[in-house]
Amino acid sequence: LQFLYKAPSCKVFFSHDPIKIVRAKGQYMYDENGNQYLDCINNVAHVGHSHPIVVKAGAKQMELLNTNSRFLHDNLVQYAQRLQATLPEKLSVCYFVNSGSEANDLALRLAWQYTGHKDIITLENAYHGHVSSLINISPYKFHQLSNAEQSKSVHVALSPDVYRGIYKKDHPDPATAYADDVKNLIHKAHENGHKIAAFIAESLQSCGGQVIPPAGYFQKVAQHVHKAGGLFIADEVQVGFGRVGTHFWAFQLQGEDFVPDIVTMGKPIGNGHPISCVVTTREIAEAFRNSGMEYFNTFGGNPVSCAIGLAVLDVIEKEDLQGNALRVGRYLMQLLEQLKEKHPLVGDIRGCGLFVGVELVRDRVKLTPATAECQDIIYKLKEQHILLSADGPHRNVLKLKPPMCFSEEDVDLVVEKIDQILTGTLKTLCVCLKSSRNHIFVFIIQNAFSIHFDAYLFVCRC
């Protein structure tokens, strides 16, 4: 019935056999039959599903007042102050909006207005939101279009991926090499009479495949972009609010000396409540005002959204969730590294705190993406009541970004299950191999695997 009224372009997880979740608490979700699922996907439920402190703050403020920001309200001021305190000093002006998409669109408007330039540099496989201006700068999306046509004012830079990209871990200086690609793009744009308004990137690419850029890359990019008169926009929609463990913001992983010109926030900011924020410098905000155009957002910064945002910050602090992300994230990485030793399908393990990617490949030299295997694992984990998803340009990266209250016991469970599935998969394959080639094909089809020659050889060796 959901499909009858809901738009057909909107996809659910596990579309062949979707789950009907009726309640959730912490890192657990429950279906209509009372089955418990371990949630390793929902970075939106940042401090845990239905957190009582957040729920209470929202309910209490809803009872009192929920109106637009045409009136003064303490919540708005307090929340802006609290957010500002987590950021470098020069990032001091907040615009409150309703979604990551609204935030990134506003960031572009700020950059266009401040610089007077039009062009945007974005990364390969980037996703920045669903409104039309952001589809234009999201290769992850516009490559899905059958009639894809890249805007002439959008330039796509190499993703700073040291596993699958051109410059790998063994490169002497991948940060400089990838930043030089941005420099070259700027150079080409200038030759064609184009001018750069901004470079935009997630501080860690999420949909793009859980990519962690080499430290120092952002500083070098910022140098090139600033020289061209453009701004640096750090998209923290998926990765901010302590998830990376060592820092509150993921861009801080690049080093203390890096400060973006604009930071956008979203998903985790309201633990599911629609709120988001753009923070920038006074200079850029003044230039935007001087355009003569007022900015008004009906719901943005309303007292309920701000009360919820404040409660989320409170819980992160009180429950030391950033510390938890660091500790549990490190433990998760340890266990995953062991998995990598054991299973050749596991090509790369990368992560910061509770933002982790497991890239599956059929061949560790050629890096052939194990896309079907990845889908298979996700479906099998679902049968075990563990919710995980896959992403990246080849959909071969297991993506872990659970609620921040995720525990070491949860880590034990999910890694154990992945281990079992990987082991089981190989065993089945080996059994099949012992009969006939035809049988393998039968198996392949049944499991929705599309095993290529590389993988076939590998299985033979095991």
Under rule CB under 8 A, which residues in 238-297 are in contact with a copy of itself? 266-267, 271-275, 285-286, 288-289, 291-297
Distant-in-sequence, close-in-space partners of 105: CB < 8 Å, separation ≥ 6:
129, 131, 133, 134
Of 142-171, binders to a copy of itself (CB under 8 A) are 142, 144-147
For the bound state, the minimum distance from the C-beta of residue 406 to a copy of itself, rounded and expressed in Å, comes to: 16
359 binds a copy of itself (CB under 8 A): no
DSSP assignment string, 375-389:
HHHHHHHHHTTEE-E
Q: What are phi and psi of 60, to 5 degrees?
A: -60, -45
Quote the CA–CA distance of 98 and 265 in Å, as a whole number: 10
What minimum distance in Å lies between the beta carbon of 110 and a copy of itself? 9
Q: Nearest approach, Cβ of 149 to a copy of itself (angstroms)?
A: 11
Instruction: State the minimum distance, in angstroms, from the CB of residue 455 to a copy of itself.
Output: 28
Find the shortest distance in angstroms from Cβ 271 to a copy of itself.
8
In terms of residues, how long is the chain? 462
Contact yes or no for 111/262 (Cβ under 8 A): yes
* Cβ neighbours around 155 below 10 Å, total: 21
CA 80 to chain centre: 24
Structure tokens at 151: 């805007």
The phi and psi torsions of 376 (rounded to 5 degrees) equal -60, -45
Q: Can residue 193 be called a binding residue for a copy of itself (CB under 8 A)?
A: no
386 close to 37: Cβ distance less than 8 angstroms:
yes
Distance from chain centroid for Cα 277: 16
Among 53, 55, 367, 440, binds a copy of itself (CB under 8 A): 55
Beta-carbon contacts of 13 under 8 Å, excluding residues fewer than 6 positions away, are 19, 41, 387, 389
Which CB sits closer to a copy of itself, 277 or 352?
Answer: 277
What is each CA distance from 89 to 114, 266, 281, 344, 347, in whole angstroms?
20, 20, 9, 46, 40
Instruction: Please tell me whether residue 33 adopts helix, strand or coil conformation.
Output: coil
Classify residue 159 by its DSSP letter.
P
Residue closer to a copy of itself, measured from CB, 32 or 317 = 32
> Residue 214 or residue 303: which is nearer to a copy of itself going by CB?
303
- Is there binding between residue 450 and a copy of itself (CB under 8 A)? no
Closest distance to a copy of itself from the beta carbon of 273 (Å): 7
Q: Is 405 in the site for a copy of itself (CB under 8 A)?
A: no
Task: Report in angstroms how near the CB of residue 288 gets to a copy of itself at its nearest.
Answer: 5
Nearer Cβ to a copy of itself (53/426): 53
Phi/psi at 222 (5° precision): -55, -40
The least CB distance from residue 402 to a copy of itself, in Å, is 13
For the segment 78-137, give every residue that binds a copy of itself (CB under 8 A).
80-81, 84, 92-95, 98-102, 105-106, 108-109, 112, 130-133, 135
Q: According to the binding rule CB under 8 A, does residue 77 interact with a copy of itself?
A: yes
Of residues 416 through 435, those in contact with a copy of itself by CB under 8 A are: none
CA distance 372 to 384: 19
Task: Pick the stretch among 14-22, 221-229, 250-258, 352-360 that binds a copy of itself (CB under 8 A).
Answer: 14-22
16, 20, 437, 461: which one binds a copy of itself (CB under 8 A)? 20
Among positions 302, 322, 324, 425, the unique one binding a copy of itself when judged by CB under 8 A: 302
> Please, are residues 325 and 354 in contact by the beta-carbon 8 Å criterion?
yes
Question: Of the two residues 11 and 434, which places its CB atom closer to a copy of itself in the complex?
Answer: 11
The smaller minimum CB distance to a copy of itself, of residues 63 and 257, is found at 63
